[in-house]
A and B are shown apart, each in its own frame.
Chain A
């Protein structure tokens, strides 16, 4: 069974997903970081595929992308690093990346490789729903990959319904109209948006991302969704870390508890 489906069948609240950029801070940190995220008690690992032009990301993740590329990270390299990840990692793994490097690799070859190494889902922020339905849904399904779409406070109710219909896995609720890492804290306006979406009774679980950084914001987000995603705040923690394993574990535990 797909690990994302499995997770949400058994856990409906306070699901924590951690994003980091593959090949950052050092090229060979990818797998050790995944192992530390798992042992710290998070629920989903989102591995960012670095790209030269990440238009939905703020300075923190832009930087980590550039550093990873300078370190020599590429999609091929990433697949090499993750080839045997299922020997040590049991959490659901989601790859998050922009479309262009994946298209150059070849979408079918990419999906096939994902299934082979045990990837469960994809988040491709610049893949619009229509293009997904027209060009890629079939191949995602063939290789049992869950596809996550983003919604934002500007997404209309009609469009949220459409996205819910065509999503499987979970929906990524961008907490404010912003790029990543632009906000801290959660405002009343955002809570009104969380409640509006909550009242729609969507079939897919919802994880809230953008602006989640600590126990307080994680708890607030979990109140209105099934959990939350932390990206920029995590990247900042590991950027200067001298001991990845213990820093990751103490950070994630401080968020969960």
Chain B
């Protein structure tokens, strides 16, 4: 059974390793979130916004040309069609309603590719809440359109200038600012990382993805269960959402595509399950890329959203017990897969998502297998990277 325990652990991974200054905030959330989510009032508002604001349910689309090419029945779960262009908004809608119920006035968040930042800025505008987004200075350069999007939506974007100046450092900075403003501020973490209860809470908000896959597949194929679900993993929120209702259905294979960067042995990689060992980052025990001395290693991926040295504790657990298969996809192969999907199905995917497409080349399946790929985001934000790469 994949289930979180009372102390916030999935097997060996998880927990809440946080400075005492954050204890009251985390306690407040831990004590209240399940109960708040369970109220009909919360569910009505959450479900209402997912339908009318986000545009859910997102289609489960049969990709016929891709299926023909690879020799399997391939469906794409179209999270790229969510408002703001990726699955991230499922979580921010849930968390902003939560923040309101907890009486918070101000929202902070970290962002890597900028998708979570945009999704957070969007729901803050929707609810009229003050919003500050922390983003690595390097990411601000490579994801310019999303930075401007956040500003148009009224958010303040603050560069994180320490370390590698990417997602890890933006998360450090957001945590520091939460310590500085503990009473009126809610921190919307964008992935299934961070101290308990964040990984589970974010996974539950994203679980709408697999909830929909089940009934949509039932309509199309007469079964709720595909043979394989594929998703990309940085921190792992879209994968957690796509896997959630299949964790405990053993006949459904779960495949997680990590970013190999320039290659797992190149020193420029973000393939955490290959290169990582157990450690503590951002408040939870998980698999982590680190030196022998326990210093966190700076990752590399062409996609800002996968450029993270850890993975969510639930994924570390899925890896540890062998419940999910992990594959590592190099920058070049991901870019090619992005072009391939563009030309076979008319969908330009986010580069993060393109890693999941390439996974089709790395796993075994037969032609009758039903494969669902979680198409977590669209490629508009990545045009600069596609153009610079130029291989099309």
Q: Which of A57, A104, A128 contacts B20 (CB 8 A)?
A: A128
Interface size on B (CB < 8 Å)?
35
Nearest chain A CB to B192 CB, angstrom units: 18
Q: Which of B269-309 contact A (CB under 8 A)?
A: 277, 279-283, 288, 290, 292-296
Judging by beta carbons under 8 Å apart, are B20 and A69 in contact? no
Judge whether A177 is part of the interface by a CB distance below 8 angstroms.
yes
Judging by beta carbons under 8 Å apart, are B176 and A104 in contact? no
A54 to B172, CA, bound (A): 8
Given A103-B279, A177-B180, A182-B180, residue A155 in contact with residue B296 (CB < 8 A): no
Nearest chain A CB to B23 CB, angstrom units: 7
Nearest chain B CB to A101 CB, angstrom units: 3
A98 to B183, CA, bound (A): 25
Judging by beta carbons under 8 Å apart, are B24 and A156 in contact? yes
Q: Which residue of A lies closest to B162 (CB)?
A: A62
Judging by beta carbons under 8 Å apart, are A74 and B293 in contact? yes
A102 to B23, CA, bound (A): 22
Nearest chain A CB to B101 CB, angstrom units: 20
Mask of B170-186 contacts with A, CB within 8 angstroms, 1/0:
00100110011111000
Mask of A145-156 contacts with B, CB within 8 angstroms, 1/0:
000011110111
Judge whether B7 is part of the interface by a CB distance below 8 angstroms.
yes
Mask of B145-177 contacts with A, CB within 8 angstroms, 1/0:
000000000000000001100001000100110
A74 to B294, CA, bound (A): 9
- Max chain B C-beta neighbours (<10 A), residue from A57, A58, A128, A155: A128
B72: A residues at CB distance < 8 A: none
Judge whether A126 is part of the interface by a CB distance below 8 angstroms.
yes
Judge whether A241 is part of the interface by a CB distance below 8 angstroms.
no
A201: B residues at CB distance < 8 A: none
Judge whether B391 is part of the interface by a CB distance below 8 angstroms.
no
Judging by beta carbons under 8 Å apart, are A152 and B20 in contact? yes
Q: Which of B201-223 contact A (CB under 8 A)?
A: none
Q: Which residue of A lies closest to B298 (CB)?
A: A52
Judging by beta carbons under 8 Å apart, are A128 and B17 in contact? yes
Judge whether A196 is part of the interface by a CB distance below 8 angstroms.
no
B16: A residues at CB distance < 8 A: 128
A55: B residues at CB distance < 8 A: 19, 172, 175-176, 179, 282
Jot down 12 A-B pairs with beta carbons below 8 A, ordered by A.
Answer: A55-B19, A74-B295, A98-B280, A100-B296, A104-B293, A126-B19, A126-B280, A131-B15, A149-B20, A152-B182, A174-B20, A179-B176
| The 10 A-B residue pairs with the shortest CB-CB distance in the complex, in nearest-first order | A101-B294, A104-B294, A74-B293, A150-B20, A56-B19, A52-B295, A154-B24, A152-B21, A52-B296, A100-B294
Residues of chain B touching chain A, judged by Cβ–Cβ distance below 8 Å, are: 7, 15-21, 23-25, 162-163, 168, 172, 175-176, 179-183, 277, 279-283, 288, 290, 292-296
